[in-house]
Structure 1
Amino acid sequence: MPHAYPYLTGLIEHAACRADIVLAVVYPCEPLALRASLDVAARGLAQVVLVGPHSRITQIALESDADLSRVEIVDTVDDPIAAAHAAAALVAEGRAHMLMKGSLHTDQLMGVLVSREAGLRTNRRISHAFMFDMPDVDRPLMLTDCVVNIEPDLLVKRDIVQNAIDLAHAIGIGRPRVGILSATEAINPAIRGTVDAAALCKMAERGQITGGELDGPLGFDNAISAESARIKHIASTVAGSPDILLVPNLETGNTLYKSLIYLGHAQCAGLVLGTRVPVVLTSRTDSEFSRLASVALGVVFARKPHAVAA
């Protein structure tokens, strides 16, 4: 599998060149979560700290014949939210540079991420971005936000775009092209996404969004196909070659993300952004390769100074 996905494979290899980032795994209290954590340590992607009840983690390791010698355990009471707060404290103390979800529910972890007392929030809205590696596409493609924000308004979309642009910079895309998706490329007041897209482009012109080139609204066809854009007479330097696609809402993004995985045979890496440190949200349906790629993406991002900006 890795040989068919050169961008994510290269990302994993790059991240493993030196294990200088500490990854805190929150409540890895079931075999799959523990195995994923130990895979990260075995690959040398990061220094792994397991945050959760010591006795339960060691019991799972014993039952799974797993080797804990390469990881550290920070003991907590057997409560996932307590473990999340303990992991946040490691970040505050400078002892962890990124987080990964273990076996707690996503809403439990997100509840801690957005809480003021955890100290993980920044002046940006929290969002999520995927990076896709697709067999028939000659470049990686980012998609945001498919996980966190349900119906983002204009100002939330501004932060979602800026978070994704910062991530693109971290992986070496100097001036990412951002295609803002909607149902049509024409501005229609009845379709809020088209109006938001136009406003976002103007915000980029005025310096309210920096570091990227925006265009929209764009239908999915003319966003990804230069030929489609030509047929529809869309003059754009983004259409046909986007680095980032901004979706109008979570339903659209989630459907598109799963379509790329299950029909387009893509592999992906994903991160929560807009927090003091990058956060990997694992899913039981993620492939082992996808989990490793997500950690690698977080490692590369965590090495950049802006990754921990207030």
Structure 2
Amino acid sequence: MIHSFTELRERAGAVRPQTVAVACAHDAHTLEAVLHAAQEGILNYLLIGHPEEILSIGRSLGHAIAPETVIPAATDEEAAAIAVSLVREGRAGFLQKGLMQTATILKAVVNKQTGIGLGRPMSHVALLELPGYPKLLGVTDGGMIPNPDLEGKKAIAHNAVAMFHGLGYERPLVSAVCAAENVSPKIIETVDAAALKQAALEGTFGSCYVEGPISLDLALSRESAQIKGYESPVTGETDILLVPGMAAGNMMVKSLVLFAGARMVGVVTGAKCPIALNSRSASFEEKYHSLLVCALMSSSREENAE
């Protein structure tokens, strides 16, 4: 397990540097995160966008960006297409969204002729450092699939487990959270959660343990589970919260950030490479830690390919 973003930084610094392709890199927060991680030896970079702006921002941040690492792109669509092509050609290990709409880069990713999709839905994982919880906590999917059916939830579970494998977890513990821990035909998410647990037992998602249905308090608090007499390996040890829908995940993550002091990163997984995907208004810190997660995942995939 990874206990904190500090430990995440230590792990990312211990692997071979990966190359990130940054689409629309003419953005100060994005460039600051990329250049900082590069200075630490964690990654290399290829910057796609408006060359003069990129070089000027780099100078203002105290970095002399080598012109050969900058690739011109006149439009957001061109920048996205070039970034994806760099991954297809093996010149980059993962993507970072810069100053552009999320839909633009994802459209290039899923393009059937030139994209890097895997033929299954992509999903978003928010990775949280949460005061009072002993390790990093994943929440999925709060940003990509609005109302997933059972097959959609299986894809979300598969993507999240694969992400945690890429971070070095041998057997991630997943909680398919619902409003209750009992199966009720009237509450479809409890039925789906039980089906996800069975699919995991059959090996559908690889090495992991899925519990469900399970309420949030039982997933995150061993004491609550003991009081209720609920036994499961995930109680107080959950690595991944699989939420019943995008709205639930989105509100959960934002509430934890706003009211509980959580720090987060956002990653899209389910394509041929991870994608560091943050809001255009995200802080340097959030973008920096997203890069570390993607660098670790990319390094793991490279090692497995060898």
Query: TM-score scaled to structure 2, two decimals?
Result: 0.91
2:6 aligned with 1:13? no
Greater displacement, 66-75 / 222-231: 66-75
> Given that residues 167 and 300 in structure 2 are in contact (C-alpha distance below 8 angstroms), is that contact kept between their aligned partners in structure 1?
no
> Given that residues 184 and 218 in structure 1 are in contact (C-alpha distance below 8 angstroms), is that contact kept between their aligned partners in structure 2?
yes
SS at match of 2:211: strand
SS at match of 1:94: coil
Counterpart CA distance in 1 for 2:242 and 2:303 is: 20
Greater displacement, 248-257 / 159-168: 159-168
Cα distance change, pair 281–71 in 1 and its aligned pair in 2 (3 A): farther
> Given that residues 270 and 297 in structure 1 are in contact (C-alpha distance below 8 angstroms), is that contact kept between their aligned partners in structure 2?
no
Q: For 1:183-262, what aligned pairs fall within 5 Å after superposition? A: 183-262=179-258
SS at match of 2:204: coil
SS at match of 2:69: strand
2:29 aligned with 1:32? yes
Query: TM-score scaled to structure 1, two decimals?
Result: 0.90
> Given that residues 54 and 74 in structure 1 are in contact (C-alpha distance below 8 angstroms), is that contact kept between their aligned partners in structure 2?
yes
2:125 aligned with 1:129? yes
CA shift for structure 1 position 60: 4.4
Cα distance change, pair 115–60 in 1 and its aligned pair in 2 (3 A): same
Match of 1:174 in 2: 170
CA shift for structure 1 position 193: 1.0
RMSD of aligned C-alpha atoms? 2.3
Greater displacement, 208-217 / 168-177: 168-177
Match of 1:106 in 2: 102
2:304 aligned with 1:301? no
Q: Number of paired residues?
A: 304
Match of 1:92 in 2: 88
Match of 1:263 in 2: 259
Counterpart CA distance in 1 for 2:235 and 2:114 is: 40
Match of 1:115 in 2: 111
CA shift for structure 1 position 258: 1.1
CA shift for structure 1 position 18: 5.1
SS at match of 1:116: coil
2:136 aligned residue (132, 140, 156):
140
SS at match of 1:41: helix
CA shift for structure 1 position 43: 2.7
> Given that residues 99 and 280 in structure 2 are in contact (C-alpha distance below 8 angstroms), is that contact kept between their aligned partners in structure 1?
no
Q: Which amino acid in 2 is paired with 1:15?
A: A
> Given that residues 127 and 137 in structure 2 are in contact (C-alpha distance below 8 angstroms), is that contact kept between their aligned partners in structure 1?
yes
Identity of aligned residues (%): 33
> Given that residues 175 and 241 in structure 2 are in contact (C-alpha distance below 8 angstroms), is that contact kept between their aligned partners in structure 1?
yes
Greater displacement, 81-90 / 230-239: 230-239
Counterpart CA distance in 2 for 1:18 and 1:172 is: 12
Unaligned runs of 5+ in 2: none
SS at match of 1:304: helix
Counterpart CA distance in 2 for 1:72 and 1:230 is: 59
> Given that residues 55 and 65 in structure 2 are in contact (C-alpha distance below 8 angstroms), is that contact kept between their aligned partners in structure 1?
no
Q: Note the alpha carbon deviations across 1:103-153, whole angstroms, 9 max, x for none.
A: 011111112122212331013321111222223221221111111111111
